[in-house]
Structure 1
Amino acid sequence: MGTWFGGFYGAPLGLAFGAWYAVLAGSAVRARLDPSHDGPDRVLTAAGLWLLLGGACAKLAWWGAPVALSPWGLVAVGLGLTVLGVARRRARLAWLARVAAGVDPRWQLDVRRSDDVHRSDDETGLLPLIRPDGRPQDGVLLYRAHGHDRYRSASPSAPAALTERPHPG
């Protein structure tokens, strides 16, 4: 009798919670399977939205039961995480635009030589700076070290990440 009663009432509730958590788990799995430098920011944004919506739903269904964190606390934490994740992604895009414009002399965008025979082996293990989502990663972000060597005319550079090169127009 307990199994029938528990299955009858517990199965729909379990499916609802599983579907609710699948959004957050799916974001984390995608960040792991398709790694990029902005993957943690995307998961942070998804977790923040999840907490924000969860707190709002809990506020609608809250009957004054004792809880560790109030629904307004969940909304505040969720809003903070969402804003932080979005701000970090926007800051990364703005920084990449400054690098593409040549404002930061320590960083440089170069053409990726993935099909070229002169390709450096350093490019093989690089992660995309921003998740490609189907866009070609035809650029390499290079870190240019300050050369204090009197025998070199150019500073040495090391590849740091793959990226999409800005196209004119």
Structure 2
Amino acid sequence: MTDTATTILLWLATIGSALIAGTFFAFSTFVMTSFARIEPAQGIAAMNAINTTILGSAFIPVFVGTAVAGVALAVLAFLPWNGAASLAMLAGAIVYVVGSFGCTMAFNVPLNDGLAAFDANDPAALPLWSKYLVDWTFWNHVRTVASGGACVLFVSALIWRS
């Protein structure tokens, strides 16, 4: 039973981390750059709209579900320890939970909350928006690499388990 559950969780974590990596990759490579090219009030409004919409979208169950699967896989990696497969499973879980989920909670969400509290039409919005674009995008790059790396580690665990 544990073997089947582990395999199912590994597949879910693989697919989930790939989907999340792709979403973050899109933001890192063209969404934030596009927002930087439009008027700050428009960029702030668009980002705030995304941040509100994302909470009710399919993104949240995939994002959180992948973190939950990662925590479960971190425990299952030891039951029993299976060398490289267990190490890849444990590493993938840590990379996703800390680098993607943890980074989001510690950095991106507070930046989003700060942006939401600011009046986009206030003349002081430009320096805030400029700093937001740099800081948020940096942490998004971290999340992109972490999610993609976790996906590679989960795939490796699947291969080494077979």
Tell me which interval the TM-score lies in, with the shorter structure as reference length. Answer: 0.3 to 0.5
The structure number with the bigger radius of gyration is 1
Greater relative contact order (CA < 8 Å, ≥ 6 in sequence): 2
